[in-house]
Structures are given as structure tokens and as C-alpha cells.
Amino acid sequence: MGRCRQRRYIHLRNELHDDFFLLEPGSSERARESIAGPVDPTGGFPLGTRLESFMSPNRKRRYAGSMLTYSQPPVLLRDAIGDLDAVVGLLERNAPYTPLGGWYRNVGDPNAVTSPLWFQNDWVHADLAVEGSNLFMCDERVIEAARNFYGAEVIVPHSLYVNIMAAISESGPAHTDNPMFRGRSRANTPMWLLRAMLWSGLFDRWSIVQATAIWWMNDVEGGGLSYWPDGPAKPPHRHAGDMANTSLVGDNHGMFHQVEPVGPFEAGTQLVTAAAELAPTDDGSGDWTVTDRGEVVYRAPLGRFRVSVLWKASVYRTEEERRSVECDTLSLDDVARIFDAALAERGVDFRFDLDRLDAPELNRALAEVYPEAVPIGAGRSVFDA
């Protein structure tokens, strides 16, 4: 399956010194108050401390100890897809869909009835490009919006996946999307580790800026999107109602966002096992069914499901910049070495053990040292229910 000829259209993410005031001894109280962690007595800041840059409200906000970006609000595109029947065909051809997994959804017992009706499939990634995916991958309006949003010349679309949801009375998790680093991505690195790398602020040199477009097929009961372009300490914005055939283009890797509860709500959140599948029926009704262990547990027309398609692209300021950094990659040994040096500097006793990547204890230990922020106003997550 051929891919579209990729237009490469960045964001000034790794030039931190242009965007931050790095605190020196004797810094002002105003500078000190911007720190989201303890300041050492000399007026400097410890490794990993996050600093909010002093910028006018119409500029991007960043934290110097992390590549996390508090971006401008995303760009809204209306009438985003011209051929909605082609989207329905894509959905049908690539069924069945399976329950969402991920860094916040660790499935222990596959027979446990713990998964909400939140289904997902990949349509494009490194080794896959399903027939018809160019409808989204090569969307010129989205590419142009990403180019303008980041002020970039190089946009490289690389991933496309779909979410289909129904009957979830709680919200999704409030989160930033999983980061990518040169040499480290979800293809070869546990997602919890990618997030620890993000929040540690130790790997900004290798970060790859990511543009995201989210497209919604239809309006359903509930199903809005809350998002925090002003950072997690400010109230969220919302995209809710009149969402059909709209796209938001922006920086979901540097902006907290959260799916709001999705109807219908009469029966509360419906749960299935990790083995459940969502697919269209073959009876000509147009309905889709959720089948779990041989039993149909949910049935509704496609229009009653919240359907969204997510497009991802790597962003570089120029082609020269892309070429200059492409060979500077991270191995897992590099990750362990950098974490160990930082942990030693902090006086933390434990060390990063590559032989224990699957051990929950390592995940928890790093999360204690490098905790993720929790945005205010976030709804209760279905995965915490």
C-alpha cells in the first residue's frame, strides 16, 4: 500500500534557552514563585525542576525541566472530510475493533470484566497502512493547519488510529499523549517508560515534536473534549456539541486533554473483557455489535457511537534540522545510564534496571521521583472507577 508523498512541514521545542528564564542565585521572588517544586537555598533549581517561562498570554508556555509544552488552543476545522461514506467504508473494512489498552490500562486477567466500551484500531503505523487511509493521512487542510500552528516547514505524517466509544458514564483519563524520542517510541519502549522520560525532563534533546489532528464523525450524547492549553493549573477549554465532521489540530503531546462522558447513560458504564470485539452486523441493519465471549452485549447504529480518528505527524523546523538530528538516537542502555546519573545526583537510592522493565515496582519508583501533573477540573476517569 503506497503512502502519500509526505509533505514535511516545527516547533521550537528543543531550543529551551530561547523560551526560559533559568534561575540563577539571587533570582527575583517572581521567578522563584514560578517554580513547581522546591528551590535550593542558593536560588538555583535542582535537576528536573519545572519552571514556567514568563511570556505574554499569546505565546506558548513551557517548562524548562520537561519538554512538556503548554500550547496555544488547537485550530478548529469544520466540514473536515468531504466523503463521509468513505470513512464508513474504512471503519467497516477494518473491523473488528478491540478494547483500548495502553499505559493506564494494564490488563491482568483477560477474563476480568473491566474494560469500558472504548475500542481502538491502528490504521497506519510503521508497518501498516490500510487501504483508504490516505483520506486522512494526506489531508491538505490538516497538513497546512499543522504547518501554520507550529510555524514549521517539515511535517511528516506517520500514524493514524480510530477510537469508537459508547456507554461510558465517567470521563477518559486526563493526559498528554505518549511522547516520541529519536530511537524510542511505543514500537520498542513500554509506554510507562516513555512517559517517565517525558516527565523527567532528561531527554528533551531527543524529543520529536508531534502534531495531532482529532476528527469526529458524528454528534452523540455527551462525548465532548476538555483540553488545557493554558496548562494544568488553569481551567480547561471544551469542544462539545456540533462536533460532527470537525477536526482539532494542535499539540496533544504538550496539552492535557480528556474525553468527557459518552452516552447513552441510562444503564451506566458498560464493561466487557479484554477479549471483546466491536464490528458491524451482517444483517443489513447498519447496526454494530459488541460481542464478548460469544455473546452480544451491546448493539446500536454506528451513529450512536462516538467515532474519532487521530492523525499524528512528526514536526521539524526545517529539512536541514531533520537531517542533522536523525542519527542522534537513544538506546535503552542510554536511557538507563541517563536515569541512573540523574537519580544519583538527586540522592535517590534505587537504580534503573533494564532487566526489570516489566516490573511494576520500577514504574512506581520512577513515578515517585518524576510525577505527572494532574490538571484542575478534570473529570473522574473510567479507569480509576
pLDDT digits 0-9 by tens, 241-250: 999 999 999 9
pLDDT band, residue 109 (cuts 50/70/90): confident
pLDDT at 280 over 50: yes
Residues 322-338, mean pLDDT to the nearest whole number? 94
Reading the block at residue 18, the C-alpha cell is 530561547
Interatomic CA distance for residues 151 and 255, integer angstroms: 18
For the chain, the C-alpha Rg in angstroms (whole number) is 21
Residue 217's Cβ-count burial label (10 Å; 0-12, 13-18, 19+) is buried
pLDDT at 4: 55
Which of 34-48, 212-226, 277-291 comes out lowest in average pLDDT? 34-48
Half-sphere exposure of 69 (CA within 13 A, CB side): 28
Partners of 225 in the β-ladder = 239, 259
Interatomic CA distance for residues 122 and 61, integer angstroms: 31
Apex 139 CA angle, 77 and 90, nearest 5? 100
Assess contact for 222 and 250: CB atoms under 8 A.
no
Contacts (Cβ under 8 Å, ≥6 apart) of 330: 181, 182, 183, 184, 203, 206
The predicted-structure confidence for 130-175, as pLDDT tens digits, reads as follows 999 999 999 999 999 999 999 999 999 999 999 999 999 999 999 9
pLDDT at 312 over 60: yes
Candidates 3.30.1330.10, 3.40.640.10, 3.10.450.50, 2.60.120.620; correct CATH number of 75-316+376-384?
A: 2.60.120.620
pTM to 2 decimal places? 0.81
Q: How far is CA 156 from CA 110, 146, 308, in A?
A: 36, 10, 21
Assess contact for 47 and 346: CB atoms under 8 A.
yes
Q: How far from chain centre, in Å, is Cα 382?
A: 17
* Mean pLDDT for the chain overall: 82
pLDDT at 161: 96
The predicted-structure confidence for 182-212, as pLDDT tens digits, reads as follows 999 988 999 899 999 999 999 999 999 999 9
pLDDT at 334: 97
